[in-house]
């Protein structure tokens, strides 16, 4: 059973979190490079292993655009972004545009899929399963929308609405970026974008569905637990980085 090191980073600016993810990914790629040639043949003997991470955080208001996204899905100009106190990033993840902000739990798994399954589609379905199982604890039935990523409510109805957006990057089977689960999110910020580039589709949150504020720490605990179950792994707290082995 694989071990995944967990960190709750708290409130962190998007760029800083991106840089931190990138550093963890590059550490794993360095280990892979030390072990194998580009054609996959072994060229070095080393005991060093890749390390799995699961990061949770919350971002100040920010819109992020995936590498295949379209700028026209950002519906406001730079001046309006400044008025709203929202930053903007073009990212190297998949997907289109989304919003991160207060009351939203953002999860960034940095996993070596060669130690799980080398199937990116299966990885995305597993991330969705984590969210589906988590919101079920609150009596909310989540599902998938054919042709789209993320977790949806009433997915194939006229009232389809997304509760969790997803977008990832994978390099030599090491993942980064991840999911954004709306818990107590201020949904008004989605009015300034076309979420995930999908028109005529709604967005929602756990709080909106329940009609009450939700304990975010409780949701984090459930997410962490369900992540371990779905990925058949042990999720443990991260010690000092220099002591991880």
pLDDT category at 9 given cuts 50, 70, 90 is very high
Report the percent of the chain where pLDDT is more than 70.
91
Per-residue pLDDT tens for 118-131?
A: 999 999 999 999 99
pLDDT at residue number 41: 58
- For residue 127, what is the domain's CATH number? 3.30.930.10
Segments in the chain forming alpha helices (H): 14-35, 78-84, 120-136, 206-210, 216-230
Which domain does 101 fall in, by range? 2-243
Mean pLDDT, residues 208-223 taken together: 98
pLDDT at residue number 244: 44
Report which of 163, 146, 234, 150 is spatially closest to residue 204, judged by C-alpha positions. Answer: 163
pLDDT at residue number 197: 67
Pairing assessment for the beta strands 161-171 and 151-153 based on DSSP bridges: antiparallel
Q: Of the listed 57, 164, 170, 196, which one is catalytic?
A: 196
The reported pTM is 0.91
DSSP β-bridge partners for residue 109: 54
Q: Please state the domain count of the chain.
A: 1
pLDDT category at 39 given cuts 50, 70, 90 is low
Residue 87, CB-side half-sphere exposure with 13 Å CA sphere: 14
pLDDT at residue number 38: 56
Per-residue pLDDT tens for 165-186?
A: 999 999 999 999 999 999 999 9
59: pLDDT strictly greater than 50: yes
Q: Is 57 a catalytic residue?
A: no
45: pLDDT strictly greater than 60: no
**Inter-CA distances, 23 with 19, 20, 28, 174, Å:** 6, 5, 9, 12
194: pLDDT strictly greater than 80: yes
102: pLDDT strictly greater than 90: yes
């Amino acid at each position: 059973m694989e071990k995944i090191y967990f960190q709750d980073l708290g409130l962190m600016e998007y760029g800083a979190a991106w840089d931190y993810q990138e550093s963890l990914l590059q550490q794993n790629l360095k280990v892979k490079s030390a072990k194998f040639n580009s054609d996959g043949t072994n060229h070095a003997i080393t005991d060093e292993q890749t390390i799995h991470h699961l990061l949770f955080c919350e971002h100040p208001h920010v819109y992020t655009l995936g590498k295949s996204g379209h700028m026209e899905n950002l519906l406001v100009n730079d001046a309006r972004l400044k008025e709203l106190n929202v930053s903007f990033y073009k990212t190297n993840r998949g997907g289109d545009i989304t919003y991160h902000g207060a009351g939203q739990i953002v999860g960034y798994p940095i996993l070596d899929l060669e130690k799980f399954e080398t199937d990116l589609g299966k990885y995305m379905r597993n991330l969705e399963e984590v969210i589906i199982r988590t919101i079920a604890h609150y009596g909310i039935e989540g599902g998938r929308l054919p042709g789209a990523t993320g977790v949806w409510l009433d997915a194939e109805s006229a009232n389809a609405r997304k509760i969790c957006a997803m977008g990832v990057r994978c390099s030599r089977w090491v993942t980064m970026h991840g999911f954004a689960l709306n818990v107590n999110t201020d949904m008004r910020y989605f009015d300034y974008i076309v979420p995930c580039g999908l028109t005529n589709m709604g967005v929602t949150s756990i709080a909106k569905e329940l009609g009450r504020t939700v304990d975010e720490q409780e949701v984090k605990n459930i997410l962490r637990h369900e992540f371990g179950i779905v990925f058949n792994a042990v999720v443990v707290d991260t010690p000092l980085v220099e002591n991880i082995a």
